[in-house]
Amino acid sequence: MKVYLDNAATTSIAKEVITEIEPYLSTYFGNPSSTHSFGRKTKNAIEISRKKIADYINAENSEIIFTSGGTEADNMAMRCAVLDLNVKRIITSKIEHHAVGHTAENLKDSHNIEVVYLTTDKYGNPSIDELEELLKIEVKTLVSLMHANNEIGTLLPIEEVSLLCNSYENVYFHSDTVQTMCHYLLDVKKLKIDFLVCSAHKFHGPKGIGFLYVNKNLHLNPIITGGAQERNHRGGTENLYGIIGLAKAMELAFSDLKNHQKHVRELKYYMKDELYKMDSRIIFHGETDPNKSLYTVLSVGFPKDICNSMLLFSLDIFGIAASGGSACSAGSNKGSHVLAELPDQDKFQTVRFSLCRYNTKKEVDYTLDKIRTIVFFIVSPQ
């Protein structure tokens, strides 16, 4: 049996998305910037997709800038905040994705930007009190805090933070919503947020496509200069198939969001309860309470005296894909910068299981069964 429980790294592409993209790979190939009928056809498809996407987050069409994914969108938000909005300080946390963390550090070095890291508690929640105190200091600031952490699932009270940032004139708020876009309803008008970020491959869309939402009151210059695509914000022929696929993946996600949420949440908490029954010393990172945790991510800390770093490898042998942290840190020999911020990490071996709407209870039971065998040497009768 093959079980894929690494959906925070990437997801399988939905078959309906493939069907939607197919005509744009074969029949409709015109350059969207061409003025003839071939070009008008694809341009029109892009603009229909943009409208569909904008509607789902209650944005205006002009507020959506297509990018190559989450990393580029995070970069665009942060770099434009410095270059075009004259931001002098970035307030963030140590547990952001590298797309944000490394960009903040780069802006510190290249543009002398002050970077302030909020303290995070043992669940990975950044201190909102500290943020409030810092915002009282009058300096043009970008607050950059992710909606949900990709490794441990900690969920930011995004409305509260957005409201707080909004009460200060010189403060912009950027949230990396890569792990929550299409998993929760996000209404940009209600949130009054400046920037948010999407990456299609996290919700059964294609890889290499995403967007940055930019509040229409902000005037940004292009980061990628060239043609006038994306209303002059990002030159280059559009990723037509990606955009079509992104819009379809979004439609599928939102068409039955409540049931998807319920299904995945039930699987996660079933898995959590069963693991806890195996050994009550097992911990679950980022789990303040179910409402403050991303329902797709279960980050499990196995006590090191019962479990070593071979667990992931052993699961892989049984056909189960999970992750030791984020895909990026797993690919390098450095440990996770997120787990490093949590207490007592030397005592635990962490495995991140991340679920999607296509996972089944049978797959979770198979995984639990193999964990019993690998960690506790219990072999269930066949």
Rg (C-alpha) for the chain, rounded Å, is 21
- Catalytic residue (one of 80, 165, 182, 328): 328
Q: How far is the CB of 98 from ligand PLP (least distance, A)?
A: 8
Closest by CA position to 12, among listed 252, 204, 183: 204
Estimate the share of the chain in helix, then strand, then coil, as percent rounded to the nearest 5: 45, 15, 40
Q: How far is the CB of 197 from ligand PLP (least distance, A)?
A: 7
Q: How far is the CB of 382 from ligand PLP (least distance, A)?
A: 37
CA distance 115 to 110: 12
CA distance 198 to 276: 33
Q: How far is the CB of 210 from ligand PLP (least distance, A)?
A: 5
Q: How far is the CB of 151 from ligand PLP (least distance, A)?
A: 8
Nearer to ligand PLP by Cβ, of 329 and 359: the residue is 329
Say which residues have a Cβ less than 8 Å from residue 199's Cβ, sequence separation at least 6.
Answer: 69, 70, 73, 178, 181, 209, 210
User: Which residue type, as a one-letter code, is found at position 75?
Assistant: N
What does the longest C-alpha to C-alpha distance in the chain come to? Answer: 68
Beta bridge partners of 184: 181
Return the structure tokens found at 255.
């068409």
Nearer to ligand PLP by Cβ, of 74 and 287: the residue is 74
Nearer to ligand PLP by Cβ, of 50 and 352: the residue is 352
Q: How far is the CB of 69 from ligand PLP (least distance, A)?
A: 3
Nearer to ligand PLP by Cβ, of 45 and 178: the residue is 178
Q: How far is the CB of 135 from ligand PLP (least distance, A)?
A: 23
Nearer to ligand PLP by Cβ, of 70 and 222: the residue is 70
Beta bridge partners of 210: 67, 199
CA distance 14 to 16: 5
CA distance 20 to 320: 30
Q: How far is the CB of 360 from ligand PLP (least distance, A)?
A: 24
Nearer to ligand PLP by Cβ, of 74 and 238: the residue is 74
Residue 38 CB coordination number (10 Å) = 14
CA distance 352 to 144: 24
**328 is a catalytic site residue:** yes
Nearer to ligand PLP by Cβ, of 96 and 370: the residue is 96
Closest by CA position to 284, among listed 156, 294, 6, 128: 294
Sequence-ordered alpha helix ranges (H) in the chain: 15-26, 37-56, 70-83, 98-111, 128-135, 158-166, 188-191, 240-255, 257-278, 310-317, 327-331, 361-376
Beta bridge partners of 6: 354
Nearer to ligand PLP by Cβ, of 214 and 371: the residue is 214
User: Which residue type, as a one-letter code, is found at position 255?
Assistant: S
User: Which residue type, as a one-letter code, is found at position 380?
Assistant: S
Q: Residue numbers of the site for ligand PLP (CB under 6 A)?
A: 69-71, 74, 97, 99, 146, 150, 176, 178-179, 199, 210
Phi, psi values for residue 225, rounded to 5°:
-90, 150
Tell me the catalytic residues. 328
